[in-house]
């Protein structure tokens, strides 16, 4: 008879290393209740739920979502299930895509302007 695979658990240090975050960041995510590790004495252990949540937190941050938006979205899954959570995700993703596209346009404009000024300056030195 095959044994059930044990749930993956990471220590505090392993969690920091796996996600390349500082201990301060990890403690802060716990403080604002984005993560809820299992505690044994002074040790903390992160199971598959916390690992998945951390993946989503960091992905959300990379996409420019606030920690409050991420917290609300994660809480929706706990209270409402995955369908409402996914519907909100689509709405927020659409909004964030618009914002990122605007930022990209602004950056492209700034790069073009800087390039032009650099070229004019270089030409004046010739």
d(CA 84, CA 89): 8
pLDDT digits (tens, 9 = 90+) for 7-53: 789 999 999 999 999 999 999 999 999 999 999 999 999 999 999 99
Given a cut of 90, whether residue 64 has pLDDT beyond it is yes
* pTM for this model (two decimals): 0.76
Q: Calculate the average pLDDT of the chain.
A: 90
Q: What pLDDT, on the 0 to 100 scale, is given for residue 55?
A: 95
Given a cut of 80, whether residue 5 has pLDDT beyond it is no
Question: Taking a C-beta distance cutoff of 8 angstroms, is the pair 85, 53 a contact?
Answer: no
pLDDT digits (tens, 9 = 90+) for 6-16: 578 999 999 99
From the options 3.50.50.60, 3.40.50.300, 1.10.1660.10, 3.40.920.10, give the CATH code of 10-125.
1.10.1660.10
- pLDDT confidence tier of residue 1, bands split at 50, 70 and 90: very low
Where are the chain's structural domains? 10-125
DSSP conformation letters of the chain: -PPPPPPP-EEHHHHHHHHT--HHHHHHHHHTTS---EEETTEEEE-HHHHHHHHHHHHHHHTT--HHHHHHHHHHHHHH-HHHHHHHHHHHHHHHHHHHHHHHHHHHHHHHHHHHHHHHHHHHH-
Given a cut of 70, whether residue 104 has pLDDT beyond it is yes
The whole-number average pLDDT for the span 104-109 is 97
């Amino acid at each position: 008879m095959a044994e059930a695979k044990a749930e993956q658990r990471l220590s505090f240090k392993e969690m920091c290393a796996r996600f390349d975050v500082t201990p301060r960041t990890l403690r802060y995510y716990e403080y604002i209740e984005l993560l809820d590790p299992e505690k044994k004495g002074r040790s903390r252990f992160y199971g598959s739920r916390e690992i998945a949540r951390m993946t989503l937190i960091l992905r959300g941050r990379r996409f420019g979502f606030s920690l409050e938006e991420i917290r609300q979205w994660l809480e929706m899954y706990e209270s409402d299930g995955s369908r409402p959570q996914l519907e909100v995700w689509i709405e927020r993703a659409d909004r964030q895509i618009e914002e990122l596209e605007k930022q990209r346009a602004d950056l492209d404009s700034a790069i073009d302007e800087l390039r032009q000024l650099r070229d004019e300056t270089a030409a004046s030195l010739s």
